[in-house]
Structure 1
Amino acid sequence: MSEIDVRIADWQRDNAELRRIRETVFIAEQSVPPELEWDSDDADAVHFLAFEDGYAIGTARLLGDGHIGRVSVLRDWRGMNVGEALMRAVIAEAERRGLEEQRLSAQVHATAFYERLGFHVISEEFLEAGIPHVDMLRKSQ
């Protein structure tokens, strides 16, 4: 595998790539209804794209309040540290913006992944789009 590059994306210019990844992961694979996947936060969020050899393979977004979401990696690249590279870029940008706390709603199966990045569970389990989630929080050092 080549090196993974992560960059801040532009919602307008990179829309096709952002949508391709999120539609594949959330709508096609996880059966999230499209009306739940696309929301008004996308227009104002800071979006991130992960690339391998110029091909977009993962995405995430950061909201102005420090909430991280829509973290997704295409199936063929899972388990190759793409998610970690994405999350480290998002956390670094959040801290650069002075957001000392980062929050996310994690799918329960991914809790250990986020814990390795410094997040801890702050809620009981709940269903979002029919998928078990927990809220998690990370405080900058």
Structure 2
Amino acid sequence: MIRIDCSSWLINGEWASSIRRSVFVEEQGIDESEEWDEHDSASIHVVAWWGSSAVGTARLLPDGKIGRMAVLPEFRNRGIGSAMLLALLAVAKEQNLPQVRLSAQQQAIEFYSRHGFSPLGDAHTEVGIPHQWMVLNLTT
């Protein structure tokens, strides 16, 4: 039922931006100016489809940073986040990246740990939300 599409911002940006606005700006209250940056145009974006609806998104920057992972509330706990993460990890391996990293919101640390990510350094705050840097080595 889940279909994952990996592509550029030019192809996936319309759907990705709608999901990110819904989750980060509307649900989590992140200021619109904090959500959009210069990395979108250089990143690979995944969009998760449930039937004909775009329900999740995430991105992989050229340096191996995964971010902007979002799933619409009514589609959470259906494996969509895992499917998107696995798709981005496959892209990272194809690009021969030695590792990937991400800044996990505190409530998502367990999710990323289940996928092999390990905490790195101390907790920090981004856009007023507690986060933890996490890393996954792709060479072992």
Shorter-chain TM-score tier: over 0.9
Q: CA deviation at 1:29?
A: 0.5
Partner of 2:134: 136
Partner of 2:14: 16
**Root-mean-square deviation (CA), in Å?**
0.9
Partner of 1:110: 108
Structure 1 unaligned segments of length 5 or more: list them. Answer: none
Q: CA deviation at 1:15?
A: 2.2
Q: Provide the rounded CA distance (Å) in 2 between the counterparts of 1:13 and 1:7.
A: 10
Q: Provide the rounded CA distance (Å) in 1 between the counterparts of 2:29 and 2:96.
A: 35
Partner of 1:63: 61
Helix, strand or coil for the counterpart of 2:66?
strand
Partner of 1:29: 27
Which 4+ runs in 1 deviate beyond 3 A? none
Structure 2 unaligned segments of length 5 or more: list them. Answer: none
Q: Does 1:50 align with 2:45?
A: no
Percent of aligned pairs with the same residue? Answer: 37
Structure 2 residue aligned with 1:80, among 78, 83, 90? 78
Q: CA deviation at 1:13?
A: 3.1
Q: CA deviation at 1:106?
A: 0.1
* Structure 2 length-normalised TM: 0.96
Q: Provide the rounded CA distance (Å) in 1 between the counterparts of 2:6 and 2:74.
A: 22
Q: Provide the rounded CA distance (Å) in 1 between the counterparts of 2:11 and 2:110.
A: 33
Matched pairs, number: 139
Q: Provide the rounded CA distance (Å) in 1 between the counterparts of 2:69 and 2:60.
A: 10
